[in-house]
Structure 1
Amino acid sequence: MKHTSYVGLDLDAQGGMTHIGKIIRDGWLFGFIPETETGTGWTHTQIQMLYEKVFAAWEPYAHIPSRLPPELKEKYLRIQEDALKRARENGWDPELSDDD
């Protein structure tokens, strides 16, 4: 079996607008990892462990950003705006293609 690791948020496909990219950014949001951590070299197990923490952290807010308390909502919006800007600068197109 081939062992693969995550390339990191900066080199992620679609400018980081992937499921793993969202997990990393939500890890930043809830303070599980520092905003400097991109997940470069992480294994599937490490990503899964972060996902489980992030999922549990979202549960009190029904996984809806508008239900976050003001300080988390502000942080969430900042993180997302920065991510969208970087993704677009790296060629990400939010339009779905026929393959999506």
Structure 2
Amino acid sequence: MEKEMSQKTYVGLENDINGGMTPTGTLIRDAWVFGLLPESQTCKGWNAGQIQALYDKVSKAWEPYGHLVSLLPPELREKHQQIYDAAVEYARKNGWDPELDILDEENR
């Protein structure tokens, strides 16, 4: 059983639940914003260690901006907007309903 868990890999942003509107999906898109990954990289097949290493890099990249989009320089803010607008459109086309996420939060 332990071996099975250690061999689990990420399904890739394009195959993630909710059209990729998940914490891992956000991590990948943020890596795109900061140029840590090419926008073609969906992290399909990545293991937990690779995802964690990416998380560490992305978190460090956000630090100078207090993890706030509003504090990004204009070119990064624009790139963030483009990436996330496309992500929301893709997710909605693939059945994601943000209202259900809000309801889930309220029921916890």
Taking structure 2 as the reference length, the TM-score comes to 0.89
1:29 aligns with 2:33: yes
1:46 is displaced (CA, Å) by 0.5
Q: Which one of the candidate residues 71, 85, 88 is aligned to 1:84?
A: 88
Q: Distance in 2 between matches of 1:80 and 1:19?
A: 13
Counterparts of 1:36-55 in structure 2 under 5 Å? 36-55=40-59
* Runs of 5+ consecutive residues of structure 2 not aligned to the other structure: none
Correspondence for 1:69: 73
Correspondence for 2:10: 6
What is the alpha-carbon root mean square deviation over aligned residues? 1.1
Q: Distance in 1 between matches of 2:36 and 2:62?
A: 13
Q: Distance in 1 between matches of 2:15 and 2:80?
A: 21
Could you give the per-residue CA deviations for residues 49-99 of structure 1, whole angstroms, max 9, x where no partner exists?
A: 000000000010000001000000000000000000000000001013446
Q: Distance in 2 between matches of 1:31 and 1:44?
A: 21
Q: Distance in 2 between matches of 1:55 and 1:21?
A: 14
Q: Looking at CA atoms only, which structure, 1 or 2, has the larger radius of gyration?
A: 2
Q: Distance in 1 between matches of 2:78 and 2:84?
A: 10
> Normalized per residue, which structure has more helix?
2
Q: Distance in 2 between matches of 1:42 and 1:53?
A: 15
Correspondence for 1:15: 19
Q: Percent identity?
A: 53
* Runs of 5+ consecutive residues of structure 1 not aligned to the other structure: none
